[in-house]
A and B are shown apart, each in its own frame.
Chain A
Amino acid sequence: MRATAETIDIQEILNRKARRKDLLRNIIPFSGLVFIFVFFTVVTQGKMLSSSNLTNLISQCFSVTIVAAGASFVYAHGGMDFSIGPSCGVAQLVAALIITRSDLPIWLAIAACILVTVVTSTMVGATSAYLRVPVFVVSLCMRAICSGILTVGIAESDIAIDYARFSGFNSEVLKAVVLLVVIGVSYYLFEYTSLGKYEKAMGGNVVTAFQAGVVVKRTQIAAYTLMGLCVGIAGFFQLTRTAGVTGGSGSGLEFDIMVAIVLGGFPMMGGSAARLRSVIIGALTITILSNGLVLWGLDYLLVNGVKGLLFLIIVAITYDRTNQNQMNFTSA
């Protein structure tokens, strides 16, 4: 190759451009988080940082972050789950019933709460894997089933539990510890074990993963089970905080997770670019955003509308369109 000074220069410029693009992709979600935090601190004249609001923020970000950590395994292989909100509600219902209607120990209520979401999520993953139905459809069905159960469960009246009895679960220290453990374990599984690597490989090209010996179905189901586990944990803490179950228990969780995924720069269709930290950053961003919007004076009822709009904008900007069915002229 005739490597003149000029061609080397151009190559250098192109390399620099590519590096800058990579860097930007990594930095944008993080700087978005910082920006939103600073923005709302300023426009709410510091209300954002008041101790009562910080407590609020911690418990709000607690459930979204925990569930997002679990959901990252599902989204990494290109899956999704619309049922986690209602199934989280059902889990809380079951736990509340055990607490109010029986003398069984608390740990059993916790176990039941987690078991419910583990079972529903695993069922979503397994049904889709073994019956070869798009997970989108299966999870919508599961969502309807869970909503139905929740509606029947609270048909007579909302169920209240004794707040004081569970105040221990509302301590910030306990929540911080649980949060760190969940993030730590997820991070390890996601970045340093074959499970996370298989999920990403499946998101990249499921045929290649299959031919490389990955047991595709089992790996897919494992992701849903893990997510169910996280939803259950988050569900029980939510129950103790709100001290009761209503028709709205758990609702909106699946959407918050989806927004967190895109805000953090996690690829919607999964694959190699998936990073656990993206999900965590996204979860923090969406929490601060919802919280900040309300503090700023936006009607609570409008927050979901704003999130929807934001979701659409971010997806439109970042969605990876290269794998779509279009004629490929670029092959060299």
Chain B
Amino acid sequence: MLTVKKISKAFGPTRALIDVDMEIRRGEIRGLIGENGSGKSTLASIIAGAQFADSGSFELKGKPYAPRNMVGAQNHGVSMIIQEMGTIPGITVAANIFTGRLEEFTRFGFINMKAINRRAAELLQEIGAGDIHPETLINRLNFEERKIVEIARAMVANPDLLIVDETTTALAQRGRELLYRLIRRLHEENKSVLFISHDLHELMSICDTITVLRDGIVIDTLEKEEISVDRMRSLMVGRELSGSYFRSDYDGSYSDEVVLEAKRVTSGILEEFNLELHKGEILGVGGLSDCGMHELGRVLFGIDKPITGSVTLKKNNVQVKDPHVATKNNMAYVSKERDREAIILNASIKENVVLPSLRQLRKVLGLITRRSETNLTNKQIETLRIKCRNGKQICNELSGGNKQKVVFAKWLGKESDILILDCPTRGIDVGVKAAMYKLMTELKAQGKSIVMISEELPELIGMSDRILLLKNGRLQAELRRSPDISEKQIIQYII
């Protein structure tokens, strides 16, 4: 179906892809895996016409193929469902699905909305989402439904090759099944799928073959019978990883001393929520994405002001009313929205790392010396093993995992005592994940307190001393650390 020949691509001094060769057969479901920054999304978006390669070429169905844009690629039979949110707000579902193809429905300068709506309804029906009405405004849909609309958009041109870029992370069970059904259908129609995902188990159950990328190079391509989770993991990271990377102990003890207390907090969906965080505790907070746990993190750090109730630091009896007070009292917050909230992308590693510590670095007359900044930064680069040229490198050039390390570095450099971590391992690869878990365990041992908000159940079970499970803004259950907690048990509380 598709032959990829010696494709290379560089962003500034970063080489994203180096002479990539790949062949996708008709009817094949090909998995594409690699750590963050390994180049898989770049490769996918070049195939789909969203970016251009610096060198190399493609052959599609035996003919040279060089898409100029995504619609051009679609017309050649290559469609992609993109990783980032890709719907246009303020217009209807149908208009979203046919974005860039409105000419096909235009007569004498007028758009035939009826025809568009009819076609959209058929299309949604076909992929098994007939309940989404084509005339609904896209803003009315929830995150998952919007993703389904994107899937519909990718299917408009009846593609021969469908590229799925980490779509399933955004989908719950229903959306996933819809997508799996679609993939199976394409397979039966002798069409091909390129499937990108972080979920190794999912890849194993869906894909016929799996290509592994590392640092922009194709490391290996595994055939069905060679595929195993361990094999994929070690190929991605480039070294053997020991089986479990969570905490190994089941000693869920912590000090009796309460360091942070939330009392009857109401904010957003959260209702009259109470919480006590102890010294040396890893407190897991879990639930579905919209259960109020992210709001909880924001309120605890003073980013959102609660409508009722209060958050208090017990040591000095200080009320956390904004992030300024929080940071002054050695609190730290890692936002779920890393690129949008937790890091200044266009600034250097150094500028990011020292930002919360500037107050402590002040000397006479407010002087902050270059050396004190550099020392602080270099120490963190070393302890966290941030992969970079030096502290002056701009964060935009780093991979996702290394960006996340920079975010951690700024709070560790400040020697924070209370850390509010909202999805700290979201979208980062196994290697960095393992490092983060190790770090949290060390912080606990040092007597620091952590609130870990997470949508990943294995991580909650594996790391927390105590787990609070939320549903619709209320506490559903509180579980103590134990080897017996299962994901099934948790799911029954949160759904």
Contact = CB atoms under 8 A, between A and B. Distances in A.
Contacts of B335: 211
Contacts of A207: 340-341
Contact of B11 (A7, A21, A330): A330
Interface stretch (B109-117, B199-207, B220-228, B343-351): B343-351
Given A213-B356, A332-B42, A14 B323 contact: no
A141 B327 CA distance: 36
Contacts of A200: 347, 351
A198 interface: yes
Nearest to A204: B344
B13 A14 contact: yes
B91 to A, nearest CB: 15
Interface footprint category on A: 35 or more
B25 to A, nearest CB: 26
Given A192-B367, A198-B358, A211-B301, A332 B37 contact: yes
B333 interface: yes
Given A193-B367, A204-B344, A272-B347, A211 B303 contact: yes
Contact of A11 (B15, B45, B323): B15
B346 A332 contact: no
A193 B14 CA distance: 32
Given A1-B214, A205-B344, A213-B327, A193 B366 contact: yes
B249 to A, nearest CB: 32
Contact of B13 (A7, A17, A322): A17
B13 A201 contact: no
A212 B347 contact: no
B82 interface: yes
Interface in B334-384: 335, 340-348, 351-352, 354-356, 358-359, 362, 366-369
A323 B352 CA distance: 18
Contact of A327 (B11, B39, B84, B327): B84
B50 interface: yes
Given A1-B214, A198-B358, A208 B327 contact: no
Interface in B385-431: 394, 399-400, 410
Nearest to B36: A332
Interface in A277-332: 320, 322-323, 327-332
A1 B217 CA distance: 8
Contact of B83 (A15, A17, A331): A331
B62 interface: no
A208 B358 contact: no
B448 to A, nearest CB: 18
B458 interface: no
Which residue of A195, A322, A328 has the most chain B CB atoms within 10 A of its CB atom?
A328
Contact of B362 (A194, A205, A322): A194
Given A204-B346, A273-B346, A209 B355 contact: yes
A195 B358 CA distance: 10
Given A192-B367, A194-B358, A332-B399, A15 B323 contact: no
B312 interface: no
Interface string A247-277: 0000000000000000000000001110000
Nearest to A272: B347
Contacts, number: 133
A192 B362 CA distance: 9
A271 B400 CA distance: 21
B145 interface: no
Contacts of A42: none
Interface residues of B, number: 60
B432 interface: no
A132 interface: no
Contacts of B82: 327, 329
Given A201-B355, A332-B37, A211 B328 contact: no
A24 interface: no
A18 interface: yes
A104 interface: no
Contacts of A208: 341-344, 352, 355
A173 interface: no
A214 interface: yes
B140 interface: no
B300 interface: no
Interface string B305-329: 0000000000000000001101110
B41 A331 contact: yes
A17 B11 CA distance: 11
Contacts of A15: 13
Which residue of A1, A192, A197, A213 has the most chain B CB atoms within 10 A of its CB atom?
A213
A39 interface: no
A65 B355 CA distance: 29
A164 interface: no
Contact of B348 (A1, A11, A272): A272
A101 interface: no
A197 B348 contact: no
Contacts of B358: 194, 197-198
Contacts of A330: 11, 42, 45, 51
A200 B323 CA distance: 18
Query: Considering the complex of A and B, which 8 residue pairs feature the smallest CB-CB distances, nearest first?
Result: A213-B327, A272-B347, A204-B344, A18-B13, A329-B50, A194-B358, A193-B366, A212-B356
Given A192-B366, A204-B345, 15 more contacts: A1-B215, A14-B12, A192-B368, A193-B368, A194-B366, A197-B355, A197-B358, A204-B347, A212-B327, A213-B328, A271-B344, A272-B348, A327-B82, A330-B42, A332-B37
11 contacts: A15-B13, A194-B366, A197-B354, A204-B347, A210-B303, A211-B301, A213-B356, A271-B344, A272-B351, A273-B346, A332-B38
